[in-house]
Every structure is written in C-alpha cells, then in structure tokens.
C-alpha cells in the first residue's frame, strides 16, 4: 500500500507508517500501548475514518475511483504534518484550529459538569501531539500566585478552578485525558460518564471535530465547597 513519503512519529514515539497499515488492515484493533495513549488513539481513529470510503468503494466495485486513494493519502499527510492543529475540512477549504483552543474547549466543558473541582494536577508526558507541555495555569503563565514546578520530568501545577487536559490530535480527530478533583459524594462512575458526554458534545458542537475517546482521571476527592 502507499504510505506518506516522510517517516513521521507521534509525540509518544509511534511511527505513522505502521499505524496507517494497522488502520487499513486491522481497523478497531489496539495494542496495550495504544489503549492508554491519546496520541495513538487520535491517529488511528482519524486514519480509520479517512479510509472508510476506500473500503466501501472496494466492496462495491473491483477498483476504487482513480483519485480516491490519492485524496485519502493527501488527507493523511495533512493530518500528520500539522500536529499542532486540528483540521476541519469542508467543500470550501480547510480550517486550522490551534490545539490551545481545543484544550480550552475541553477544559471549559469539563468544568461545567456539576461536582468537578481542581487540585494539584500531575500530568505525565506531553499534553499535545507537538510535545509541548500545556499546563493549566489560566491566562497568566507565570504570575506571582503560580506554584508550577517540574518534579522528575512530571509537571505539577496548582491551578484553582482548572483541570488538567492531556490531548492527542490527528487531523479532525482528538483523544482526550482529563485530570480532575471532584466533590465528595456523587457517584464517580456517573460523574465520569457525564464528563465524557459533555466533552464530546462541546468539541463537536463548538469546533466541529470528532472525539475518538475521553478518558477521565480523578486524582482527588474534596469536601463540598
């Protein structure tokens, strides 16, 4: 099969070529690493979705339209070439949305769920596909009240009123890990499900992007405010 000319790796170190082959040959299959990696989840979901018209055309006719594979490969190249952006495709062109905006929408959606609080958040690894650390500090990155510090490679930031967001982006698909503290009392499973629904709804309604997965990590339970 045809793969992008340039070997590219995601922020987690996974090569794009094998991920594309996996999406084409074994859609839906995930390795142990991929089940816990937002970057692989976003890329595989995006590749599988983009390959659907090729698979459907091949099932109906002996040969897909001559430009179909090239158009799909072009979309895949665009996805892996723009790791700092979510790409929203339409008949009139492509809209590029900065990952910082995606993080903001995810955070606002999470914080709108009753019972969600914040605490000292420790987020492991890069929080967006570019590998840049995106700590939740609000609008002031290094104000007097910011107690952010790095501890053995893990960044922990005390940001009252904020939640941690770890984001994988590939084309028009994202995978999300949110880290929150919650009020003592509510059903945690139900609260996690409410967060997932809210993040998916806001991301799709506000940005027009697809959410492959939303993982919720609860790192503290606090007395009601």
Annotated domain spans of the chain = 16-96, 98-222
**Segment 12-41 mean pLDDT:** 93
**Segment 57-69 mean pLDDT:** 70
The predicted pLDDT at position 13 comes to 92
pLDDT digit string, tens, across residues 123-164? 443 344 333 333 333 333 333 333 333 333 333 333 445 788
Least confident of 82-86, 173-177, 209-213: 82-86
CATH of domain 98-222: 3.30.70.1350
The predicted pLDDT at position 180 comes to 92
Please give the mean pLDDT across all residues of the chain.
76
DSSP codes joined into one string, 7-58: --B-TTS-BHHHHHHHHHHSTT---HHHHT-HHHHHHHHHHHHHHHHHHHHH
């Amino acid at each position: 099969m045809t793969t992008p000319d340039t070997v590219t790796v995601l922020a987690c170190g996974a090569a794009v070529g094998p991920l594309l082959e996996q999406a084409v040959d074994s859609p839906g299959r995930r390795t142990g690493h991929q089940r816990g990696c937002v970057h692989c989840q976003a890329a595989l979901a995006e590749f599988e979705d983009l390959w659907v018209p090729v698979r459907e055309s091949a099932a109906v006719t002996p040969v897909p339209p001559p430009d179909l594979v090239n158009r799909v490969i072009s979309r895949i190249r665009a996805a892996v070439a723009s790791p700092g952006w979510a790409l929203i495709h339409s008949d009139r062109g492509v809209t590029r949305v900065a990952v910082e905006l995606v993080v903001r929408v995810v955070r606002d959606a999470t914080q709108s769920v009753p019972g969600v609080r914040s605490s000292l958040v420790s987020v492991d690894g890069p929080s967006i596909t570019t590998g840049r650390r995106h700590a939740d500090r609000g609008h002031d990155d290094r104000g007097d009240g910011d107690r952010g510090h790095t501890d053995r490679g893990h960044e922990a930031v005390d940001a009252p009123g904020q939640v941690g967001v770890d984001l994988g982006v590939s084309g028009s698909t994202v995978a999300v890990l949110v880290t929150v503290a919650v009020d003592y009392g509510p059903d945690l499973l139900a609260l996690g499900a409410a967060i997932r629904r809210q993040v998916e709804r806001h991301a799709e309604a506000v940005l027009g992007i697809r959410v492959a997965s939303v993982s919720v990590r609860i790192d503290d339970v606090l007395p009601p405010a």
